[in-house]
Amino acid sequence: MIIQPPSFFKYLWIELIGFDNRQGDYGVGELLSRMEIKPEVISILIWNTDLIHSHHGLDEDAPIGLKHCAYQARPRNEEHDIQNWTRFQLRGLIAELHRHGVKVYVSFFDQLWSKEYQRQKGVPDTDEWIDHHQEVRYVDCKGQKTSLCIWKRLADGSLYEDFFVRQLEAFIRDYGFDGLHGADGYGHPRENIAHADFSDDMVGQFEEATGIHCRFDDGPSSLLSILARAEWILNNVREQWTAFHARRHAQFWRKTIAMLERNGWGHAVNTCWTRDPLEAYIRYGVDYRLMEDAGVHTWICEANAAAVELEGWNHTGTPKLDDYRSMLLRLKAFLPNSTMLLLHCVKDGLEQYNVLHHAPMFMETEVYAYANLLYGTQRVLEGVTVCLADGIRKAEWEMFDNLYRNAFDGDVASLPFPRVVWSDEAHRRELESYRYGQAYLNSHLLLAKLLAHGAVLPTIVRIDDLPEAGAGPLVVLHPGFFSEEELTTIQKASGGNVAYIGYGGSSIAGGSGGGSPPSVVPPPKFYCFSLMKDGIEQETFQCDLLPCEWPDKPYTWLCDLPEQGCPSDFLAQAARSLNTAFSAMRVEEHPETVCLWGYTSDDGLLHLFMANMKPTYQWPSVVLKGTYEFNEMLSGGFVLPPILIHEDGVTRLGTKLPPMGTVSMLLSKKQ
């Protein structure tokens, strides 16, 4: 039997506790024997960077320290207790993985332990590099030191990044790694730029880079204190502060990527805390485009909806599945030439979530939903990174490999729903007009909330790919940020079948958008919806905006940015109108509880996906334009075929959906 190669990349993110240094091959053969599909890359998480900071060659063997052998030295996993690996054993493990044809990356966080906490965990107190270099720790807006800040200077005035890149190069070469996986704190900042770093060092770098003076003493309003300085920067020069951080982060990665490429090593970098391009920049000062210009072309996209929902961390009112579907679409449109992999968060032995065992149906839904998001007719994602990959049994790996194979199967030929339009220029204008704490629902959240209300919008297209991307209805979010030329292009490419939603959304708002908005756009009083078919306006309506509900400085990505909201009834009506006018598939009742998507493949079959977002079974009625016959059930755990009723040129499809799960099937269309 010929086994077809997988249609997706498979990476593993794993700690040393996932191997076994008591075995001659360090447990590599046992781990890989559990999987039908072998990973191309394994990223080994050593958690803390002291192993790199203190690296001085491999002439002698010695224990590497428990904190590097598991995430924060967690004492055990499902199979055995933590083991204190040695330097030579780590090098031997990498060589053994190479023998099996697997590349090995190193990964780590910026986190630090206090000596007291280290003693509480029973980990031996050791002298660490950071003990002698407290100057590179974050100083937050209250003057407290937190984790390591990669942009700071050492005491001798040199940049930490220059020291670190030299150490990392020697470390990778000596151990035999094949590349770097840039994780939390390095791939992106841990701290919100409204929270840190406001030390003399970082403020001094900001002053040097911008010419803005923000440390002075004029009596009662002295800005010599950290708190006063932070308040003044955020209230007066926040835009410059954000842009400065974006440049500093890109500079770190420009140096790192140059070193990796010089040695022929690879890379993958985590996206910024599940954030889309707008919020990554606004909240964390991460400009994905600057990162791409610096050489970052492989991204591991954190989209852990199931884990966040299970933890009870969704404070936004928008289902995380829809939040992250919107994020992934927008990220790919912003970085169309980059490779994107899903960070599939299945379990974490330290953080103690376990989607694999506690929400397996939701876990499947995530993969099916994300893997079939489309950029034009191409998948947004090209594979998965299993996180974390230790302690997974053979039967579970078989389930994973089948899930990934099914989710990424099939080539897309045509789309039965409208496409959202992305414009770099519109994105730039939205960023320029954004005023923290005074803005209105941004484009990312507008799309996420439309998805949450049942809009079938799983694909995005760049405006510069029109009209070559093919005809079909288009959706424009916040058309007020699009130029007249762009709107004309959209009208022509869509054949006059287009919906405008949001700021500048219809003639009611003074035109369907266009022009070049001023650098500061005052928040509108209402949003508009306008739908055109064949160039003729069919429907318009509007809504008043809701006031901000969040504080002006939310430090965590678990909360929305402080923005004016949009009423649910407006979003629900917009979603219904979109589906009725432009989609060849829709849910008849309660579309907010059923996610619907699909595509037609080269063989003419409709790949239909239906996800149940309720914790109980559902029997939704799905309307498909055209006459369809059932072909094959691909997922869902049911034996009986769906119920199909043909009437008036449509097919009404009824099938049972598992709680939080997804049913996928193939349908053939009668001519």
Summarised one tens digit per residue, pLDDT across range 343-400 is 999 999 999 999 999 999 999 999 999 999 999 999 999 999 999 999 999 999 999 9
List of residues 6+ apart from 5 with CB closer than 8 A: none
**Is residue 517's pLDDT more than 80?**
no
Instruction: Tell me which H or E stretch contains 570.
Output: helix 568-582
Helix residue ranges per DSSP H, 85-180: 87-99, 115-120, 160-175
How confident is the model over 236-284, as pLDDT tens digits?
999 999 999 999 999 999 999 999 999 999 999 999 999 999 999 999 9
Tell me, what's the pLDDT at 510?
39
Buried b / exposed e along 411-427 (16+ C-beta atoms within 10 A) = ebeebbbbbbbbbeebb
List of residues 6+ apart from 153 with CB closer than 8 A: 135, 136, 159, 160, 201, 205
Sequence spans of domains, the chain: 9-113+154-188+263-411, 419-583, 591-669
Contact 492, 517 (CB under 8 A): no
The DSSP output letter for 26 is T
Tell me, what's the pLDDT at 2?
44
Task: Give the pLDDT mean for 600-604.
Answer: 94
Output the six-digit token pair for 505: 């959304």
In the CATH hierarchy, which fold is given to the domain comprising 9-113+154-188+263-411? TIM Barrel (3.20.20)
Average pLDDT, the chain: 93
Contact 479, 502 (CB under 8 A): yes
List of residues 6+ apart from 312 with CB closer than 8 A: none
Q: Which has more pLDDT, 667 or 526?
A: 667
Identity at 590, one-letter amino acid code = H
Tell me, what's the pLDDT at 508?
33
* Residue in the block written with tokens 């499902």: 78
Tell me, what's the pLDDT at 550?
64
Three-class DSSP labels, 382-425? CEEEEECCCCCCHHHHHHHHHHHHHHCCCCEEECCCCEEEECHH
CA dist 382 and 374 (Å) reads 11
Contact 480, 516 (CB under 8 A): no
How confident is the model over 499-513, as pLDDT tens digits?
999 998 654 333 444
Same fold, 9-113+154-188+263-411 and 591-669: no
Contact 623, 596 (CB under 8 A): no
Task: Give the pLDDT mean for 555-570.
Answer: 88
Tell me, what's the pLDDT at 518?
41
Q: What is the CATH number of domain 591-669?
A: 2.60.40.1180
Contact 601, 413 (CB under 8 A): yes
